[in-house]
Structure 1
Amino acid sequence: MHRRSFAQLGLSLAALPLAMPRRAAAADKPLRKVRIAVSTTVLNVGYPMLTLPLTLGYWREEGYDVELMPVGASLQSIQQMVGGNAEFGEVNASVIVQANSKNGLPVRIAMGNGVIDWSVAVDANGPITSAKDLKGKTIGVFSLATGGIAYFNSFLRNNGLDPAKDVELVPLGLGAPPIEALRSGKVQGLLYWAAAIASFENAGLKLRKLVGEDWRQYPDYTLAVMQATVDKDPEMVVGIARGMAKATVYALANPDCARQLHWDRYPSTKPTGADPETLVRWDLNTQQAQLDSLKDAFTLNGGKLWGNADPAAYDRLVKFMLDTKQIDKPVAASSMMVKIPDYFEKVGRFDVAAVQAAAAACKP
């Protein structure tokens, strides 16, 4: 998946009696179709907040028949929403900022899912132990346009290095090339996001990870929605986000159960080429990269409401993007937030302990 680089369809929800339980109400009404464009090419085990609501029926309980649409990079997800082909997009937060600041598009933040999880991976037994040791080194990246480079350059400058002179970047893509490049010494480090780094570890690399102190203080993966969709069907926005919040709690409570359920529903994404125990270890490692990001995002966004998006965190990202010239003018994070009364409180109205108990029992 290439994670780092515009739905105005809203479905009206008839008013329901306040005393009617959500499950009963959903059962009495036909499910409404909702599409989520996901910024990846393959929905592997690393997307439990999106795949588990389907497996566990969380979105059906809310009254929605959800289709996940892997579309590539975040820009493509935004384009799918603007073009009316998706109601939501799971995208990098920086793309939401750019859409609002540079293009004036009313893309809104519906849920905070992750943090910046990039790192510079180097040989665990090698001499590189700090940013200063990167001077004169060659670093492999997915592409020369990949989003992590802005964070990397800031990391170098903060440690007294000149990105233009002291380090060389080489585009390597994904798969075997970056692995072989590090093994052969063609590069001395790999600048990639956490799930990619996990895949390199699965292939046998022993890695030490260098990370900027501020990187995980910036939000990243975010559920996006157009303002027109919020205006037309706010209850749908709440329901979709609530399903994702419940799935996040479930996966964090029992990662191996989340892995088992993913393999059962999406057998084609199960890794191959090793014994069963190794395959389990590989996918748990891949999944853990996302779980760590989900957990850190919960803390970053206040640590009280699952899925909450704290404007202060997104304001920090806006400032960083201004400083690194990714945008030319600021945009207030508060203007990008979904504005539904008590929105995140509504998203969090579910029994967390019950979800955790269901995860412990590990039954669909």
Structure 2
Amino acid sequence: MGITRRGIALGALAAPALLRGAAAQSAPKVRIWGASATVEAYHGFLFLGIPLGFYREQGVEAEFGTAAGSAATLQLVATNQAQLGYVGMETLILAKSRNPTLPVVAAYLQDRGNIYEVVVPEESPVRSLSDLRGRNIGVANLASGAIPSLRAMLAEAGVDPERGVSLLPVGNGAAAATALRTDRVQALALFRAQHAIIETLGFKLRYFTRDQPSSVLAVNANFLRQNRDAVERTLRGVIAGSVFCQVAPQAAVREHWKMFGRPTGVSEEEALNRAAYVVQRASELWKRWDDPTVKWGEMTQAQWDAMQRFMVEQKLMERPIDSAGLFTTELIEPINRLDVAPIVQRARAAT
């Protein structure tokens, strides 16, 4: 499975920092991969550890890149071309159901909330999901990962997801916003960051959500067995990046711009405010840095069992598999020993 050009470019940009870390000590090398064709500022929980030194401080030499989608990223992790990958829970479940010996396991729950949502304009007469009966709903494409969640939400609201609504492919961003503005569709079912982007284009949206975790960091099981300490240290770097994004979203955006360039055609202030808002909204799905009742990355078998029931109900798989083989919690206690206070202080100083 190929690596995207964005991933290669970021790896090249990260190289000087990596070399400095290597010169200081013989640090283990870990490749962390996202699952998007492009790198956005809200992916900062993964990449900020490179320019800001969080991974180096933890004693690992990290490289970050992306592949086009969770399936591609998971394949890279399974073949140890990347050691950690940010993927959808359902993608991991499907892969393990088809190949139980696939050497991947979830080690960290990132998106505790469901990235997939349904939105309508705030002034819309649609006040509940049942009001969508007979209307058009925009999706990114007809193979979108948002569709199973949408179907479940409609069914729970008493709407036949096959005959009760029409699904139209509208793309993302400005194209999806145009479809909503012109009433070609009366609702959108994309994902949290895309809905936030549309809000920055002047929309006020009403949200309908389904309580369900959605994305994890999967690790190559063989690498974990042989390099447990390196994975632990890398996940602490992810925690640090998550904290920085939440406390200083604008600073996270500026770091993103240093690596990928600032958007053109809009003022710097407007671009900064828009991107920071998207980071803020996306990070609401993560553990809050100041919530002591939740541990970083924690997940339970009940969550995986519930996800599998959902997938069986949506006919994404025939029968559930043993959830115990899908995830490990062995790293949760040690990674949560990280003192985030210095990271918070640094983030506040960057605002």
For residue 52 of structure 1, what is the aligned residue in structure 2?
48
Whether the 8 Å contact between 2:245 and 2:279 is mirrored in structure 1 is no
Whether the 8 Å contact between 1:33 and 1:65 is mirrored in structure 2 is yes
> Structure 1 counterpart of 2:92, which letter?
I
For residue 247 of structure 1, what is the aligned residue in structure 2?
241
Instruction: Tell me if 1:360 matches 2:348.
Output: yes
Whether the 8 Å contact between 1:31 and 1:64 is mirrored in structure 2 is yes
Output the CA distance in 2 between the equivalents of 1:339 and 1:190: 35
Select the residue among 323, 328, 334 that pairs with 2:318: 328
Output the CA distance in 2 between the equivalents of 1:54 and 1:309: 26
Matches within 5 A, 1:332-347: 332-338=322-328, 340=330, 343-347=331-335
Output the CA distance in 2 between the equivalents of 1:232 and 1:158: 45
Output the CA distance in 2 between the equivalents of 1:255 and 1:358: 13
1:115-149 residue CA offsets vs partner (Å, 9 max, x unmatched): 31222222221211211210110111011121221
- CA drift of 1:204 comes to 2.4
Instruction: Tell me if 1:278 matches 2:278.
Output: no
> Structure 1 counterpart of 2:326, which letter?
M
For residue 107 of structure 1, what is the aligned residue in structure 2?
104
- CA drift of 1:26 comes to 7.8
Select the residue among 279, 304, 311 that pairs with 1:287: 279
For residue 16 of structure 2, what is the aligned residue in structure 1?
none
Change (3 A) 1:333 1:303: farther
Q: TM-score, normalised by structure 2?
A: 0.87
Change (3 A) 1:310 1:47: same
> Structure 2 counterpart of 1:262, which letter?
H
Identity %: 29
In structure 1, list runs of 5 or more residues that go unmatched.
1-24
Select the residue among 224, 228, 232 that pairs with 1:230: 224
- CA drift of 1:297 comes to 11
- CA drift of 1:98 comes to 1.1
Output the CA distance in 1 between the equivalents of 2:276 and 2:329: 36
In structure 2, list runs of 5 or more residues that go unmatched.
1-20
> Structure 1 counterpart of 2:266, which letter?
A
Matches within 5 A, 1:129-168: 129-168=127-166
For residue 294 of structure 2, what is the aligned residue in structure 1?
304
Q: TM-score, normalised by structure 1?
A: 0.84
Output the CA distance in 2 between the equivalents of 1:73 and 1:247: 21
> Structure 2 counterpart of 1:335, which letter?
G
Output the CA distance in 1 between the equivalents of 2:224 and 2:235: 12
Whether the 8 Å contact between 2:117 and 2:189 is mirrored in structure 1 is yes
Select the residue among 103, 114, 117 that pairs with 2:115: 117
> Structure 2 counterpart of 1:325, which letter?
K
For residue 68 of structure 1, what is the aligned residue in structure 2?
64
Q: Secondary structure at the match of 2:162?
A: helix
Change (3 A) 1:100 1:183: same
Output the CA distance in 2 between the equivalents of 1:296 and 1:137: 36
For residue 94 of structure 1, what is the aligned residue in structure 2?
90
Output the CA distance in 2 between the equivalents of 1:336 and 1:296: 25
Output the CA distance in 1 between the equivalents of 2:249 and 2:123: 29
Change (3 A) 1:311 1:55: farther
Whether the 8 Å contact between 1:298 and 1:307 is mirrored in structure 2 is no
Output the CA distance in 2 between the equivalents of 1:33 and 1:226: 14
For residue 3 of structure 1, what is the aligned residue in structure 2?
none
- CA drift of 1:292 comes to 0.5
Output the CA distance in 1 between the equivalents of 2:46 and 2:190: 22
For residue 5 of structure 1, what is the aligned residue in structure 2?
none
Residue range with higher mean Cα deviation, 67-76 or 179-188: 179-188
Whether the 8 Å contact between 1:26 and 1:63 is mirrored in structure 2 is no
Cα RMSD (Å) of the superposition?
Answer: 2.3
Q: Secondary structure at the match of 2:175?
A: helix
Whether the 8 Å contact between 1:110 and 1:237 is mirrored in structure 2 is no
Change (3 A) 1:309 1:298: farther
Whether the 8 Å contact between 1:32 and 1:65 is mirrored in structure 2 is yes
Output the CA distance in 2 between the equivalents of 1:26 and 1:346: 24
1:227-276 residue CA offsets vs partner (Å, 9 max, x unmatched): 1111111111111111101221222223233233333x3242x3332223
Q: Secondary structure at the match of 1:283?
A: helix
Output the CA distance in 2 between the equivalents of 1:345 and 1:325: 36
Select the residue among 251, 259, 266 that pairs with 1:257: 251
For residue 38 of structure 2, what is the aligned residue in structure 1?
42
For residue 77 of structure 2, what is the aligned residue in structure 1?
81
- CA drift of 1:177 comes to 2.5
